[in-house]
Amino acid sequence: MSTKYETVIGLEVHVQLNTESKIFCGCSTEFGKEPNENTCPVCLGLPGTLPVLNKKVVDYAIMAGLALNCEIAEYSKFDRKNYFYPDLPKAYQISQFDLPVAENGRIEIETDEGIFNIGVTRVHLEEDAGKLIHEGSIDKSKGSLVDYNRTGVPLIEIVSEPDMRTPAQAKAYLTELKMIMEYLDISDCNMEEGSLRCDANVSLRPVGQEEFGTKAELKNMNSFSAVEKGLEYEVKRQRQLLEEGGEVVQETRTWDESLNKTISMRGKEEAHDYRYFPEPDLVPLEINEAWKEEMRKEIPELPREKYKRFVSELGLPEYDAGVLTGDKDMAVFFEEVLKDYDDPKNLSNWMMGEFLRLLNENNHSPFDSGVTPLNLARMLKLIDEDVISGKIAKEVFEKMYNSGSDPETIVEEEGLKQISDEDELENIVDGIIAENSDAVEDVQNGKDRAIGFLVGQVMKETRGKANPGLVNQMLRDKLMD
């Protein structure tokens, strides 16, 4: 019988923090500026310059650590990671080696296979490097240009334990991390812009074996789908190797999106010796209880807790709760509406239906549209109070979305109020009965579905304004006694 293998995955995730200024100087971190516009002698590493730690960056790292259930270090320090590269102006990166800001955390994730706890080994602070720019491809370009705008932008690196067993779990973990960072509002978490970056360690071992197999480090996965595809490819590659009696080599591999495969970048022998040593230009970081508590207060309800509460307290289906909490603004908007409206399921249907459709169409986030939480609550009440029909409501909602008006004004100005007055409907209903003798006959012969057709005709005649329940009742009264 052939050996069964188990996949072991650990992720190293870099998250760019969205502080206004860089980690060790006063330069702006704004994305998309002219090359080298956001630079100064300090972040350019000019001789004689010295780093000064931006406190906000530490605030954010403490928040991240707490949100990932880590222990926050009372005493932490910075170290230099030495290597030569043109985008690294000091030829060392200020990072943290043996005393990171936070350690020993964990987060809960959920996949189709169930709920898993993934360990977080550490969260440490470091500075980002610059960017090399080439004309055409790197090997055809006449030279390299360097943009140091990104140099010194604060990063946290979040290292997981090798606790994931499938690419789907890895994706769920990464998604959960992204959501947590978004809820904390400490990062834009945009993989395409590079504010969220993910490297993976992948290995296989026979099921039941405790010892890890030889791992490959996977880089350059620049989207969520790339992470999943890259990992799936790598797992398959290693399994095939092992099944054919081969051996996995310890190496760094890069995910090639165009070729849809991973390619060897460098072997173990070429691995860097970073010669870490304590950064003498910075004093050690001491984080006392008061600072920690101050940061703890800044942490909002996190996505996983919110999800659970939406299910247990609001009675939402898990699917709804997942979609709503999957985007922080969506969840916040939802809860804002609930302050003025008390049917969570009905609200959820609207948000996940019409609202989400329009948001996607317009590439908006919930607070970008003309719909305010209060106006949505008022519109839902208009439906519940039979002032407008559900169908008309869609029209009203779209007008709210585009104009920012409140629902009552729209209903008033457009004359969309539901007709619930029997006297007003009497003539129209009688007219429809007179014009549709076939359907009337069907109804009288017990074909109940024909009632629906007649209701539809009345609705058409009233341009959707008739109260469909009332029309239905009136038709039954007239035709069935």
Partner 1 sequence: MNIYDLTIHELKDKIAAGELTPAEIKNAYSDRINEVEDSVKSYITVTDQLADQGLAAYEKKKDGLLAGIPIAVKDNMSTDGIKTSCASKMLENYKPPYDATAVEKLSEAGAVIMGKTNMDEFAMGSSTENSAFFNTHNPWNLNHAPGGSSGGSAAAVAAGECAAALGSDTGGSIRQPAAYCGVVGLKPTYGMVSRYGLVAFASSLDQIGPITKDVEDSAIMMNVIAGHDPKDSTSIEGKKEDYTEYLKEDVSGMKIGIPEEYFNLDFDKEVKESVMAAVEKLKEAGAEVETVHMTDASYALAAYYVIAPAEASSNLARYDGVRYGLRSEHASDVSEMFTNTRHEGFGDEVKRRIMIGTYALSSGYYDAYYLKAQKVRTLIKDDFDRIFNDFDLIVTPTAPTTAIELGSKSDPLEMYYTDIFTVPINIAGVPAMSVPCGFDSNQMPIGLQLIGPHFGEGKIIQAAYTLEKLLNIKDKRAEL
Taking the complex as a whole, the smallest distance from the CB of residue 197 to partner 1 amounts, in Å, to: 23
CB of 90 to partner 1, least distance (A): 5
Alpha helices for 299-343 (secondary structure H):
303-312, 318-325, 328-338
At position 287, the amino acid (one-letter code) is I
CA–CA gap between residue 243 and residue 207 (Å, rounded): 14
CB 88 to partner 1: min, Å: 9
The pair phi, psi for residue 133, each rounded to 5°, is -125, 135
Q: Which of 410, 470, 79, 15 is nearest to 277 (CA)?
A: 79
Identify which of residues 52 and 115 has a Cβ nearer to partner 1 in the complex.
Answer: 52
The interface partner of residue 144, options being partner 1, Zn ion, none and the CB cut-off 5 to 8 Å by kind, is partner 1
Provide, rounded to whole angstroms, the least separation between the CB of residue 94 and Zn ion.
13
In terms of CB distance, is 54 or 169 closer to partner 1?
54
Residue 447 Rama label (left phi>0; alpha psi -120 to 50; beta): beta
Distance from C-alpha of 461 to C-alpha of 470, rounded to nearest angstrom: 15
Which CB, 89 or 230, lies closer to Zn ion? 89
Q: Nearer to partner 1 by C-beta: 86 or 267? A: 86
Nearer to Zn ion, 35 or 326 (CB): 35
Nearest distance in Å: CB 141, partner 1: 12
| Residue 43, binding choice from partner 1, Zn ion, none, Cβ under 5 to 8 Å by partner class | Zn ion
Name the pairing type of β-strands 251-256 and 261-267.
antiparallel
CA gap 116, 112 in Å, rounded:
11
Least Å distance, CB 144 to partner 1, is 7
Cβ(276)–Cβ(283) below 8 Å: no
Kindly list the residues in this chain that would bind partner 1 in the complex (CB under 8 A): 41, 44-53, 80, 82, 84, 86, 89-92, 144, 146, 273, 275-277, 280-283
Residue 51 C-beta: closest distance to partner 1, Å: 7
Name the nearest CA neighbour of 24 among 62, 49, 51: 51
Nearest Cα to Cα of residue 125 among 153, 157, 98, 91: 157
* Minimum distance, C-beta of residue 152 to Zn ion, in the bound complex (Å): 6
What residues numbered 308-327 form the site for Zn ion, per CB under 5 A? none
DSSP conformational letter for 135: S
CA atoms within 13 A on the CB side of 126: 25
Shortest distance, position 276 Cβ to partner 1, whole Å: 8
Task: Find which of Zn ion, partner 1, none residue 49 binds, CB within 5 to 8 Å per kind.
Answer: partner 1
Q: Which is nearer to partner 1, 82 or 405 (CB)?
A: 82
Contact partner, 52, from partner 1, Zn ion, none, Cβ < 5-8 Å per class: partner 1
| Residue number with CB closer to partner 1 (273 or 385) | 273
Q: Where are the alpha helices (DSSP H) in 192-317?
A: 224-243, 289-298, 303-312
With 0-12 / 13-18 / 19 or more C-beta atoms within 10 angstroms meaning exposed / middle / buried, residue 122 is buried
> Which among partner 1, Zn ion, none contacts residue 51 (Cβ within 5 to 8 A by kind)?
partner 1
Output the six-digit token pair for 199. Answer: 């490297």
From the list partner 1, Zn ion, none, which binds 357 (C-beta under 5 to 8 Å, kind-based)?
none
Residue 92 near which of Zn ion, partner 1, none (CB within 5-8 Å, type-dependent): partner 1
The correct pick among 8, 9, 43, 451 for binding Zn ion (CB under 5 A) is: 43
**With CB cut-offs between 5 and 8 Å by kind, which of Zn ion, partner 1, none does residue 275 bind?**
partner 1
Is the CB of 40 or the CB of 241 nearer to Zn ion? Answer: 40
Size of the site for Zn ion (CB under 5 A): 5
- Contact predicate 154/60, CB 8 Å: yes
- Binding range to Zn ion, per CB under 5 A, among 43-51, 100-108, 178-186, 281-289: 43-51
> Which residues in the 21-40 window bind Zn ion by CB under 5 A?
25, 27, 40
Of 138 and 249, nearer to partner 1 (C-beta) is 138
Residues in contact with 279: Cβ distance below 8 Å, sequence separation at least 6, in sequence order: 51, 77, 78, 79, 80, 94
Residue 55 CB: number of other CB atoms within 10 A? 11
Report the partner that residue 416 touches, choosing among partner 1, Zn ion, none (CB closer than 5 to 8 A by kind).
none
Contact 171/118 with Cβ under 8 angstroms? Answer: no
**Whose Cβ is closer to partner 1: residue 36's or residue 409's?**
36
For strands 144-147 and 196-206, give the pairing: unpaired
Contact between 88 and 274 (Cβ < 8 Å) = no
Here the tokens at position 406 are 């409140």
- Of 8-16, 42-50, 52-60, 76-84, the segment contacting Zn ion by CB under 5 A is 42-50
CB atoms within 10 A of CB 69: 16
Name which of partner 1, Zn ion, none residue 27 binds, using a CB cut-off of 5 to 8 Å depending on partner kind.
Answer: Zn ion
338: partner contacted, choices Zn ion, partner 1, none (Cβ within 5-8 A by kind): none
Half-sphere CA count of 36, side-chain side, radius 13 A: 9
155 or 425: CB nearest Zn ion: 155
Residue ranges that bind Zn ion, judged by CB under 5 A = 25, 27, 40, 42-43
